[in-house]
Amino acid sequence: MTNALDLVDDWGPEKIVVVSHRRTGMKGVLVIDNTARGIGKGGTRMTPTVTVPEIARLARNMTWKWAGVDLFFGGAKAGIVADPAAPDKEPVLRAFARALSNEVPVEYVFGLDMGLTEDDAAIIQDELGDRGAAVGTPSHLGGVAYDQIGVTGFGVAEAADAAAAAIGRPLAGSRVAIQGYGAVGSAAARRFTELGATVVAVSTAHGALYAGAGLDVAALDAARAEHGDAFVTRSDAGESLAGGRELFVDCDVLVPAALQDVIDADGAHELKASLVVEGANLPTSPQAQEVLAGRGITVVPDFVANAGGVIAAAFAMDARYSGFQAPVGQVFSTISDKLRSNTAAVLDEAARRAVTPHRAGRALAQERVLAAMASKGRLPR
């Protein structure tokens, strides 16, 4: 059994709230990691395997992500132990929102992560009777619909383009493999195609597809709309692979955009890509990052590459109580500008310090968080 106190270090968490509800069977947790730069903001995930340490890791990652893009919110994350496909999803979600009514929206604002949809964000707002309780609602409710417009995947491709330019290997003409063809992976694939790259592999929980000459992204999108994640088993557009093997196909750019902890040190020795752009949260282990650096493989860290979602969330936070929607065009242009400049800055800093991009990026983020903590008197004197 995890002792929550063992999770506390010099940065946080500031608060861990575990909640439950007997009638619905709801169990969940909110971790507010560090609010020196602003109130806690991060997504909420719903899976049957959610744990407190998992949510704490993700909350810490949000601390670095907000500081990395220099936006003034704090790291936080929430998780619900439930199957998002179960028929009782809505009552469980409503019970979770009610249980956190002391913290929301003053200390934490709900967002979206695995297992939750834009309609779920609307249900949270409805349950708490507060438009400020959640962001990521459908556009017809005035929200910035992250998944629908594909902000995170768009940003991943923009970061990849900047990284490719930094290492002198232009993205145009590159072969890209994407693990995960959900909201992030599919949007990234479309943007990669617009930038002149060729998508050679994609995957879902049902398996993977690989075609060395390239896959037709528009056809993949159509097949996914018809068959869901099972489209990879019904398509004759490429060679069928077992799930996970898409990470190791012959490609120039690899985008792990599905789950955390998918590339360990052994896997890092097997990768063929020269550039890894982390679309998922925490997809590589620290040991894998060192191996990749030793092999000369450039990695764009998750808290840099997939920060398009938090930039969109910052716009949505501003618009929560407004009668006007956030300007979508400005959202995309800001994502492009910030992620391209941040990617270049982190890679430059990694080279200057002779450390991995993860270490360099965290150091930059930590300096910003530390300055805020010092100004607010949160450090020992």
Just list the catalytic residues: 77
User: Residues near 358 by Cβ (< 8 Å), separated by ≥ 6?
Assistant: 286, 289, 299, 301
CB neighbours of residue 22 within 10 Å: 7
What tokens appear for 23 in the block?
Answer: 């009638």
Three-state secondary structure along 156-198? HHHHHHHHHHHCCCCCCCCEEEEECCCHHHHHHHHHHHHCCCE
Give the C-alpha separation, 204 to 178, whole Å: 10
In this structure, are residues 307 and 68 in contact, taking their beta carbons and an 8 Å threshold? yes
Q: How many helices (H) and strands (E) does the chain have?
A: 14, 12
Short-list 250, 242, 233, 246, CA closest to 202: 246
Give the C-alpha separation, 100 to 26, whole Å: 12
Give the C-alpha separation, 184 to 186, whole Å: 6
User: How many residues does the structure list for the chain?
Assistant: 381
Peptide bond into 170 cis (omega under 30): no
In a 3-state reduction of DSSP, which class is residue 29? Answer: strand
Residue type, position 52, single letter? V
Return the half-sphere exposure (C-beta side, CA atoms, 13 A cut-off) of residue 306.
29
